[in-house]
Amino acid sequence: MIKLAKPYIPTSALESIKDVLESGNLIQGKYVAGFETLVADYLDMPYVKMVSSGTAALHLALLALGIEKDDEVIVPAFTFPATANVVEIVGAKPVLVDINMSDYCINVELIEQKITSQTKAIIPVHEFGQMADIIPLMRIAKRHDLYVIEDAACALGAEYRNKKSGTYGDVGCFSLHPRKAITTGEGGIVVTHDKKLAHKIELLRNHGAEKQDGHLDFHLPGLNYRMTDFQAALGIPQLEELEQIIDVRKNQALHYDSMFKDTGWIDAPATNSERKHVYQTYHVIVKDKNRDDIITTLREQGIETNLGAQALHCLTYFANKYNFKPHDFPNSRIAYTQGLALPLGKHLKKKEIEEVCMKLKDLL
């Protein structure tokens, strides 16, 4: 089977994991602290907090910023549902905006018409590893005094004008799920420039607990969103190799691009000279064919593919609650119904990338 994705586990990680397990200190210890320092250096950010998932990271961002009942938060209509689920969970309303077909990210030109007196924040998603059009988006946020939470769950290492994803907004959130370029099994990262916000996130991820003068007290109703130390031990050597991991993905993506060039039946992902795409997913749009049939047939031929992300307005919960119609966000619907994620990553050889391409061409 040519797998869609496969976690890359450096052998050096196994030694450190053993070290953690034998030490008896399993949770949020020196490896978590070391991982946080490494990420802080990598992103050039002052405050980095490891948490238990990308979803936990987004939830903490909303809680720390005080987003609550009756607030509105602008999100792209096409994303992994976690982006909007956390908005629902804090009692706020996700306000959907359609995406561009060029980058599968929020169409920044459609944001301002959705801003009301209730709007508190925008959550741009850097979909599939390419950053949303973040500079004009930050300008809009500033003009309307809105927070920006970057959902960079699948975009660690991505850049816009040589500045990394997650470092533009008030809070940046990353995921370390096995489908992302580096993984700790489950895991997430929250980053911010703001000391107070960082402190609040620190408390919220650990029951609201804080030790002062050797005395443990509880200052907030918090959660348990901590990362274990063996997860951090797994993540550290991957982070050290992240640039090479990205290079492999990028070269594979370029190879796909060259093979799909000038074919009428597939739209390859667009690139943008101002943005560094890290290709968490190589996502194409298949035209004039049933995408689900393609996934099934390719699977029978030993190739694993999948849809890329969901159109929120087409999902039962959001459609029922907000009475959305399928055509409300047309680009998001196309990406949801015609989008196809192809195998990518260090586990694949060039020949296998070519095989995927040939078999897909045969089908179309």
Binding residues (CB under 6 A) for ligand PLP: these are 53-55, 79-80, 82-83, 125, 151, 153-154, 175, 177, 188
Smallest distance, ligand PLP to C-beta of residue 321, A:
20
Q: Phi and psi of 303, rounded to 5°?
A: -125, 125
Give the phi and the psi of residue 195 in degrees, each rounded to 5.
-60, -45
Distances (CA, A) of 300 to 86, 278, 341: 36, 29, 16
Is the CB of 16 or the CB of 183 nearer to ligand PLP? 183
Nearer to ligand PLP, 188 or 345 (CB): 188
Residues paired with residue 340 on neighbouring β-strands, in sequence order: 284
For residue 217, what are the contacts with CB-CB under 8 A and spacing of at least 6?
Answer: 209, 210, 211
Q: Least separation, in Å, of the C-beta of 57 and ligand PLP? A: 8
Size of the chain in residues: 364
Quick check: 261 and 270 in contact, CB under 8 A? Answer: no
Question: What are the residue ranges of helices labelled H in the chain?
Answer: 11-23, 30-43, 54-64, 82-89, 134-143, 195-204, 229-240, 242-260, 291-300, 316-322, 330-338, 350-363
- For ligand PLP, the nearest residue by Cβ is 54
Residues in CB range of 65: below 8 A, 6 or more apart: 120, 121, 147, 149, 170, 171, 197
Least distance (Å) from ligand PLP to the CB of residue 75? 10
Distance CA 273, CA 292 (A): 32
Q: The tokens 């450190």 sit on which residue? A: 16
Q: Label the pairing between strands 171-175 and 147-151.
A: parallel
Q: For residue 235, which amino acid is it?
A: G
Q: Which is nearer to ligand PLP, 185 or 301 (CB)?
A: 185
- Would you say 16 or 52 has its CB closer to ligand PLP? 52
Q: How far is the CB of 87 from ligand PLP (least distance, A)?
A: 12
**Residue (5 or 357) nearer to ligand PLP, CB:** 5
Q: Please say which residue, 281 or 360, places its beta carbon nearer to ligand PLP.
A: 281
Q: How far is the CB of 132 from ligand PLP (least distance, A)?
A: 11
Closer residue to ligand PLP (CB): 53 or 206: 53
Closest CB to ligand PLP among 104 and 147?
104
Instruction: Give me the least distance between CB of 153 and ligand PLP, in Å please.
Output: 3
| Least gap, CB of 207 to ligand PLP (angstroms) | 20
Of 308 and 357, CB closest to ligand PLP: 308
CB of 49 to ligand PLP, least distance (A): 14
Angle of CA points 183, 224, 124, to nearest 5°: 55
State the nearest-atom distance from the C-beta of 82 to ligand PLP, in Å: 4
Q: Where are the beta strands (DSSP E) in 182-230?
A: 188-192, 209-212, 215-218
The sign of the CA dihedral 238, 165, 339, 257 is negative
- Nearest Cα to Cα of residue 80 among 328, 347, 306: 306
